[in-house]
Chain A
Amino acid sequence: MPKKPARKTESLFVSGHRACHGCGLALAVRHILEATGSNVIVVSPTGCLETFTSPYGYSPWRVPWIHHVFENAPAIASGVAAALKAQSRESTRVVAIGGDGATFDIGFGSLSGMLERGDDVLYICADNGAYMNTGGQRSGATPLGAATTTHPAGKASWGKTERKKDLPEIVAAHGVPYVATASVAYLGDLKQKVRKAMTLHGPRYIQIDTPCPSVWNFPSHLTLEVGRLGVNCGLVPLFEMLNGKITKVKKLRSKVPVIEYLKQQKRFQHVVATDAPKERLMAVQEQADRNIEKYKLMG
């Protein structure tokens, strides 16, 4: 059997970890580190990433990585950055990678503090729209209409009735130099954004859409396809903001109706079912249309 050619460089996030098949987050992390290079310290809150990468005695991380508790990754990162500064080791950069539960919800105060202080941290939120590590409970990042285990669809409910928290805007309101959204479905764009963020200093924020086959409930070979549909229907707008101004937007070639995205995922079954009240689908479509208008995604 012919040998595979050796890789030119060893990945900084190697195989053997315990992520689910088709995990968008694991894919994102490998590419984030390809873009950051090895001179980084990574901080992660409790969550899927911590669980599947750190069973004691094993680690896919080839950079220093620290997990402390759930709600303090931004403050841990601030502490690491302060120490690097005090030790004149500032060529080493600090990157935090956390899920949406840690970022939108429980660590929100800590994140806001880090942003407001201007600490030199690139904070990356891997957003899969729910608490996947505990089985898919509602978070502030859960999109309108999605069923979660704590906000299921039932006779008296159609899943999440509130829209997703607009965290990139909230982060931008802190006056930080760089805010971007990305998707694992567009890895070139994702890496370009991470590289760009690494050239800047101060608090920077990238929110990456990382589809989760296990909880969104779609076949695990469709992660990228589902991610692409999310972007192309307008529910996951991809943009870049420098000093609070939008400088780059990924335009949509043609507007994909949200139903094409929703019908791939069982979490939206009650929205797209033929007998579902039409208002549900209309409400979700309205979210996409709002993004398309706000970020000028068409034309």
Chain B
Amino acid sequence: MADVRVVEGSEAVALAVKACRPHVIAAYPISPQTHIVEALARMVADGDLKAEYVRVESEFSAASVVSGASAAGSRSYTASASQGLLLMTEVLYASAGMRLPFVITGVNRSISAPINIQVDHQDTISLRDTGVIQLYVESAQEAYDMHLAAFKIAEAPSIMLPVMVCMDGWVLTHSYERVEFLDQKAVDRFLPLFRPENYLDTANPKTWGSYAEGDVLMEFKYAIHKAMSEGKSCIRKIMAEMTSLTGRDYGGLVEAYRTGDAEVILVAMGSMAGTVKDAVDVLRQEGKKVGLLRIRCYRPFPYEELLAAVRGAKVVAVLDANVSMGSEGAVGLDVKSRLNGRPGGPMVIDFIAGLGGREVNSTTVRAVVDRAERLFSSGAPPPEAEWLDLNPAIVP
């Protein structure tokens, strides 16, 4: 009989990590990530999880410890959020460059200043160029499933890159949800022991982290890019395997929700998608042809799925819980980069939404759809990203 329990999102992640039998876990506290490493600490303290649990003095060292452990051939895991993820930035670039396949939970939280501990995607989006694969989840169940998949993706010989599972702080980490757990044997079959081809081995001494001049550096960087872009087929395969294992189908790199005949397609990531789906259902009842494309795998970016989903749409409205100051939201830019200039392609409009925990509810979604339709009908070229729900009384 299936093991189904109502657990906190953080607990679901910790149980997924435990099931993956990591050798080394590095832990440093930061809200709203802390419950995950606390749950793992309890498992280690109770002897339920045999792992080296390293209580580091910073997130910089958390990322470094898992990098060193991974280079030495151990499956390794850490988690962080917000400022902590930014502190890891330099380490993550180097670890992707050295092809170290550990897994990180990136618990999404706003970035200072002003300091704020509520959810948005500015932290993990700031890491999008590191070479770390990023998966964004919508629910605790998906967080559980995707952590299992994350190790398998990271360790795939054709990929060998760190994977970050991005989950919204509080909304997902601290909410209690029904989660269905796999039994350990099923996980072990899905995810065999980590046996990398190369590791720090005295019987076969190798030099890691060399200095590379311009004559080879571009090829090194291209190799990462290629592992990502060609890795998409591998990720699709692993997602399909997850589906046959769990019976849950999230749709691969994206989840297309009622996009088939949609004229207006919203694009979102993370838990916000749940609200958007509800709003889509209501708008559909009113006769509006609206759908949602939820991006699950953000890096590598699912261009193929995007093109397939928006075929036939008039307008694509992106809800970006991040912003590149002086430009637009990152997801909007990605979507535009592939859609703009395609004959007969949809107009893409970017909306900056939900920063620092600002509520995105069904009224917001309805307003976005209305605005997108109006802009499309006006015949004017698409505007720069619009910031949603700014308070005119305090806007400078």
Q: Which residues of A contact B (CB under 8 A)?
A: 38-41, 43, 50-51, 53-57, 59, 61-69, 71-72, 74-80, 82-87, 92, 109-110, 112-113, 116-117, 119
Contacts and interface: CB of A to CB of B under 8 A. Distances in A.
A80 to B, nearest CB: 4
Given A39-B202, A68-B91, A80 B98 contact: no
B359 interface: no
Interface string B44-61: 000000011011111011
Contacts of A119: 54
B68 A75 contact: yes
B93 to A, nearest CB: 8
A38 B202 CA distance: 7
B216 interface: yes
A62 B216 CA distance: 23
B167 interface: no
A80 B68 contact: yes
Nearest to B28: A113
A66 B68 CA distance: 9
B72 A69 contact: no
B200 interface: yes
Contacts of B74: 82-83, 86-87
A54 B210 contact: yes
Interface string B17-36: 00000011010000000000
Contact of A67 (B52, B201, B209): B209
B80 interface: no
B207 to A, nearest CB: 4
Given A82-B52, A86-B52, 19 more contacts: A55-B211, A63-B202, A66-B71, A71-B60, A72-B64, A75-B60, A78-B54, A78-B64, A80-B72, A82-B24, A82-B54, A82-B65, A83-B69, A83-B70, A83-B74, A86-B74, A109-B58, A110-B64, A113-B58
Choose among A57, A85, A86 the residue with the greatest number of B CB atoms under 10 Å from its CB.
A86
Contacts of B76: 79, 83
Enumerate the 5 nearest inter-chain pairs by beta-carbon distance, A residue then B residue, closest first: A79-B68, A113-B57, A75-B64, A83-B72, A67-B209
Main secondary structure of the interface of B (DSSP, over half): mixed
A78 B72 contact: no
Contacts of A50: 209, 211
A64 B202 contact: yes
B67 interface: yes
Contacts of A86: 23-24, 51-52, 69, 74
A135 to B, nearest CB: 17
Contacts of A65: 205-208
Given A77-B68, A79-B64, A68 B54 contact: no
A286 to B, nearest CB: 35
A117 B55 CA distance: 8
Nearest to B62: A75
A117 B53 CA distance: 11
Choose among B94, B209, B216 the residue with the greatest number of A CB atoms under 10 Å from its CB.
B209
A80 B65 CA distance: 7
Nearest to B200: A64
A65 B202 CA distance: 10
Contacts, number: 158
Contact of A55 (B64, B94, B210): B210
A110 B61 contact: yes
B213 interface: yes
B60 A63 contact: no
B95 interface: yes
Contact of B211 (A40, A51, A83, A87): A51
A131 B33 CA distance: 37
Contacts of B57: 109-110, 112-113, 116
Contact of B209 (A54, A55, A113, A116): A54
Nearest to B50: A86
Given A78-B61, A83-B52, A113-B57, A56 B202 contact: no
Interface string B210-223: 11110010000000
B24 A66 contact: no
28 contacts: A41-B200, A53-B207, A54-B209, A55-B210, A55-B213, A56-B212, A62-B205, A64-B202, A64-B205, A64-B206, A64-B208, A65-B205, A68-B68, A68-B94, A68-B209, A69-B94, A71-B60, A76-B64, A79-B24, A79-B54, A79-B65, A83-B68, A83-B69, A83-B73, A87-B72, A87-B73, A110-B57, A110-B61
A72 B62 CA distance: 10
Nearest to B215: A56
A148 B67 CA distance: 34
Choose among A51, A82, A109 the residue with the greatest number of B CB atoms under 10 Å from its CB.
A82
B95 A68 contact: yes
A31 to B, nearest CB: 18
A62 B202 CA distance: 9
A237 B90 CA distance: 36
A86 B24 CA distance: 7
Contact of B200 (A56, A59, A80, A82): A80
Choose among B91, B204, B211 the residue with the greatest number of A CB atoms under 10 Å from its CB.
B211
Nearest to B52: A82
Contacts of A110: 57-58, 60-61, 64
Nearest to B61: A75
B66 interface: yes
A75 B65 contact: yes
Contacts of B61: 72, 74-75, 78, 109-110, 113
Contacts of A85: 52
A84 to B, nearest CB: 6
A84 B205 contact: no
Nearest to A62: B205
Choose among A43, A112, A113 the residue with the greatest number of B CB atoms under 10 Å from its CB.
A113
